[in-house]
């Protein structure tokens, strides 16, 4: 059984939690289920380690981040096997999360250096703006991209000089726990702590009085609860929450050219990404062609366990989400027309066929809500202004995209979207050097880029009076 990393030592804990294989629906492993005492111990270790880590040089902290990235690379096949086992995803996707995303974000933040800013200097004074670490950061990680999101939170927090307590999702703890075991020898004790456990452990962590900041990725409903828990002590919070991303296909677009990209950015990780396409708005003149083309692509793909070398898409990760997706599809059958997919076969595991729905619009659950599964509604529009208004009408505003052959027109439409990120002829193009903000009920704060360091730092002005001649 994999162990938790607490204060530089590996600990089994006093109780366990089953890990379910999404390809079979059966438990195949157990992990520690952190108690409140485990959480208290991890926070105490992070608090004790903070002063030395805060006072270490940026280069020393960068060396630790580089060592963490190296540990992933040196053990990537083992980590990929674990990631496949707990998510069911194909190997290529597991390797992408580990080798490209997790390693890339660790190395990017290892490369950054922030210097004090000189604001004013004259004969009477010198005023500098400094940024200082906060203390202990609680990082609450979701199940859909467990290692990447853990690293995406640890990297800027550690680079900024904070210490971290990570709480994994209860359904996907294995790979992140194993990462903790691998980095135990390269990270100073207490600087990184990794816990596995259920919602009780997470709730105790975010409300802990010695936690200075909480960074959370997950549902909007849980994000609200985290804000409430942080309010009494005014903890700083970064929330990256639900996204019902809209994509708009403009008149004159070349369907044959853009359809493969739209398909890929809609069904990536079987749709289990907050910032993939969830609503596709297509102009009247292209609507039928787009539906037919997407159906043909989806019909040619293989949904299977990630251990199948031919698998292109895996299962929904857990039973609760599987049942939600099933419900969305059944309702969509009544509201619209299934173009491809839609029939969930009885059998082991949480497999959902790639499903495209047409003849739906706002007012239908499949459009208004985020299914977070391999389901794409294709929505007809006649006027571009109307499409923009409908895309912006959602309470979510994480990402959006515009697709077309006229780049000037596409840029003009993109400028009118309200989402935190807007892409043109692509979607969910994540890059560690590019900020990834969230708007409306998709959260607040920012991850990625130099801007992604700032939420982990407190501002301090140093205002020095200069001696004056007598």
Co-location of 417 and 279 in the same domain: yes
Shared-domain flag, residues 52 and 79: yes
Same structural domain for residues 74 and 60? yes
Give me the pLDDT at residue 410, please: 98
Distance between CA atoms of residues 355 and 377, nearest Å:
9
Same domain (yes/no): 185, 82: yes
Overall number of domains in the chain: 2
Q: Is residue 429 part of a domain?
A: no
Selection from 296, 381, 378, 282 nearest residue 340 by Cα? 296
Q: What is the pLDDT of residue 6?
A: 98
Question: For 392-442, how does the pLDDT look when each residue is reduced to its tens digit (9 = 90+)?
Answer: 999 999 999 999 999 999 999 999 999 999 999 999 999 999 999 999 999
Q: Among 264, 239, 178, which Cα is nearest to 5's? A: 178
Lookup: tokens for 451:
């801007």
How many angstroms separate the CA atoms of 19 and 28, rounded? 6
Per-residue pLDDT averaged across 165-178, rounded? 98
The per-residue pLDDT for 1 is 87
Q: Are 265 and 223 members of one domain?
A: no
123 CB-contact burial (10 Å; exposed 0-12 / middle 13-18 / buried 19+): exposed
- pLDDT tens readout for residues 224-282: 999 999 999 999 999 999 999 999 999 999 999 999 999 999 999 999 999 999 999 99
Q: Say whether both 338 and 381 belong to one domain.
A: yes
**Residue 470 in this model has a pLDDT that exceeds 90:** no
Which CATH number does the domain housing residue 110 bear? 3.40.605.10
Q: Is the pTM value of this prediction over 0.75?
A: yes
Q: Are residues 229 and 295 in the same domain?
A: no
Residue 272: inside a domain, yes or no?
Answer: yes
Q: What is the pLDDT of residues 179-206, one digit of tens each?
A: 999 999 999 999 999 999 999 999 999 9
**Cβ-contact 459, 453 below 8 angstroms:** no
- 57 with 206, same domain: the answer is yes
DSSP state of 410: H
Q: What domain range is 375 assigned to? A: 246-424
Give per-residue pLDDT as tens, 76-134. 999 999 999 999 999 999 999 999 999 999 999 999 999 999 999 999 999 999 999 99
CATH number for position 352: 3.40.309.10
Is 431 among the domain residues?
no
**Same-domain check for residues 413 and 383:** yes
Please check whether residue 436 lies inside any domain of the structure: no
CA distances from 275 to 264, 422, 436 (A): 12, 11, 10
Residues 149 and 272 in one domain: no
For the chain, the maximum distance between any two Cα atoms, rounded to a whole number of angstroms, is 90
The catalytically annotated residue of 23, 97, 230, 240 is: 240
Q: Is residue 433 part of a domain?
A: no
Same-domain check for residues 66 and 153: yes
Examine the residue annotation and report whether 240 is marked as an active-site residue of this protein. Answer: yes
Per-residue confidence (pLDDT) for residue 347, from 0 to 100: 87
Is residue 435 domain-resident? no
Evaluate whether residue 432 is within a structural domain. Answer: no
Residue 294 in any domain: the answer is yes
Q: Which of 23, 151, 230, 274 is catalytic?
A: 274
Same domain, 171 and 54: yes
pLDDT value at position 439? Answer: 96
Residues 67 and 247: beta-carbon distance below 8 Å: no
Closest CA to 146 of 188, 112, 180: 180
Q: Residue 234: how many CB atoms within 10 A of its CB?
A: 7
How confident is the prediction for the chain on average, in pLDDT?
97
pLDDT value for 217: 97
């Amino acid at each position: 059984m994999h162990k938790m990393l607490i204060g530089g030592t590996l600990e089994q804990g006093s109780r366990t939690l089953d890990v379910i294989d999404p390809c079979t629906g059966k438990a195949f492993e157990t992990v520690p289920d952190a108690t409140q005492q485990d959480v208290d111990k991890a926070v105490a270790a992070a608090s004790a380690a903070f002063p030395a880590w805060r006072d270490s040089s940026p280069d020393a902290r960068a060396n630790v981040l580089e060592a963490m990235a190296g540990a992933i690379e040196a053990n990537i096949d083992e980590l990929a096997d674990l990631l496949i086992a707990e998510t069911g995803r194909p190997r290529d996707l597991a390797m992408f999360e580990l080798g490209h995303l997790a390693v890339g974000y660790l190395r990017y933040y290892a490369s950054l250096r922030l210097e004090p800013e000189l604001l004013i200097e004259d004969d009477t004074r010198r005023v500098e703006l400094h940024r200082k670490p906060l203390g202990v950061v609680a990082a609450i990680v979701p199940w859909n991209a467990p290692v990447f999101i853990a690293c995406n939170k640890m990297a800027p927090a550690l680079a900024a000089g904070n210490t971290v307590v990570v709480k994994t999702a209860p359904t996907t703890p294995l790979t992140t726990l194993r990462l903790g075991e691998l980095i135990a020898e390269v990270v100073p004790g207490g600087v990184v702590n990794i816990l596995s456990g259920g919602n009780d452990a997470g709730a105790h962590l975010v409300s802990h009085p010695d936690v200075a900041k909480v960074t959370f990725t997950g549902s909007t409903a849980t994000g609200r609860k985290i804000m409430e828990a942080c309010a009494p002590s005014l903890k700083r919070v970064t929330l990256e929450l639900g996204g019902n991303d809209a994509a708009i296909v403009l008149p004159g677009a070349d369907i044959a050219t853009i359809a493969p990209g739209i398909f890929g950015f809609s069904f990536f990780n079987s749709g289990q990404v907050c910032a993939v396409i969830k609503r596709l708005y297509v102009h009247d003149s292209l609507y039928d062609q787009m539906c037919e083309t997407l159906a043909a692509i989806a019909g040619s793909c293989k949904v299977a366990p990630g251990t199948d070398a031919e698998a292109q898409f895996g299962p929904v990760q857990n039973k609760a989400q599987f049942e939600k997706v099933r419900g969305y599809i059944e309702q969509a059958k009544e509201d619209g027309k299934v173009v491809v997919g839609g029939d969930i076969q009885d059998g082991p595991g949480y497999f959902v066929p790639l499903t495209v729905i047409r003849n739906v619009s706002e007012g239908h659950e499949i459009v208004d809500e985020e299914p977070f599964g391999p389901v794409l509604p294709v929505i007809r529009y006649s006027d571009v202004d109307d499409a923009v208004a409908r895309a912006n009408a959602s309470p979510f505003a994480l990402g959006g995209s515009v697709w077309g052959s006229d780049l000037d027109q596409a840029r003009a439409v993109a400028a009118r979207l309200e989402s935190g990120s807007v892409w043109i002829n692509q979607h969910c193009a994540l890059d560690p050097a590019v900020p990834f903000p969230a708007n409306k009920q998709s959260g607040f704060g920012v991850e990625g880029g130099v801007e992604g360091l700032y939420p982990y730092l407190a501002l301090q002005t140093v205002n020095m009076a200069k001696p004056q001649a007598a």
